[in-house]
Amino acid sequence: MYIYRSPIGIFSIRILNNRYALCFANNVLGYYNSAVAAADDVYTHTTGLYKWDILDCQIHDVPTDIYEWELVSL
């Protein structure tokens, strides 16, 4: 599982139903074919989570790719 500790809370990317799920506060925002695609939506502020997406260009330390996310084991 990958996590990103954003200024508004923790995003996670985990495997659910054999796909990568982008989650925020234990809510699934979407399913993806790769963790990279999920992380890209966070970077581009196109997650579907309004309070994150409206912050486009206002947060400057957003990970640019999945390798900048924290890898955690369960």
How far apart are alpha carbons 13 and 35 in whole angstroms? 7
Residue 74 pLDDT exceeds 80? no
Residue 56 pLDDT exceeds 90? no
How far apart are alpha carbons 62 and 74 in whole angstroms? 24
Q: Quickly state the pLDDT bin for 58 (edges 50, 70, 90).
A: confident
How far apart are alpha carbons 68 and 48 in whole angstroms? 21
Q: What is the mean pLDDT of the chain?
A: 93
Stated pTM of the model: 0.91
| Amino acid occupying residue 8 | I
Residue 35 pLDDT exceeds 90? yes
11-20, 43-52, 54-63: range with lowest mean pLDDT: 54-63
